[in-house]
Amino acid sequence: MQEAARNNPHIDTYITVYVNPIGKQAMNATKNVSFPIGSVIVKEKYEIDQSTYKMKPHSPPKLMTVMIKRQKGYSPTTGDWEYLVTKGDGELQTRGKIAKCQNYHAKRKKTDYVFRTYRE
């Protein structure tokens, strides 16, 4: 497995991404991506069937990750994003300036620290 794939926290999962109306324009932008304060991005992660590499039918999400764009100065080196991780049922596991999330998203400074590989 390639190093990039091995470090991807979303590998071997099926994901569904949602963005609130505040962040929709930035999510769909083709250049000069800058999410406004209050943008919320939610990523639901589902287990995949290893034989088909498709989402297991009727399975609940196993995990959800959330990014919230905070006021300028919240986290200047990481685009002022707050991260949340919840269990599939919504129970909060951790919230804040999560180093693992910040380090991974640092690779996407040009798109305001948001991975949009499904858009690019």
pLDDT tens digits, 80-94? 999 999 998 889 999
Higher-confidence residue of 84 and 56: namely: 84
Least confident interval from 25-29, 43-47, 52-56: 52-56
Higher-confidence residue of 5 and 13: namely: 13
Q: What are the CA-CA distances from residue 53 to residues 4, 13, 45, 74, 90 (Å)? A: 19, 9, 13, 38, 25
Does position 117 have pLDDT exceeding 50, yes or no? Answer: yes
- What integer pLDDT is reported at residue 31 of this predicted model? 83
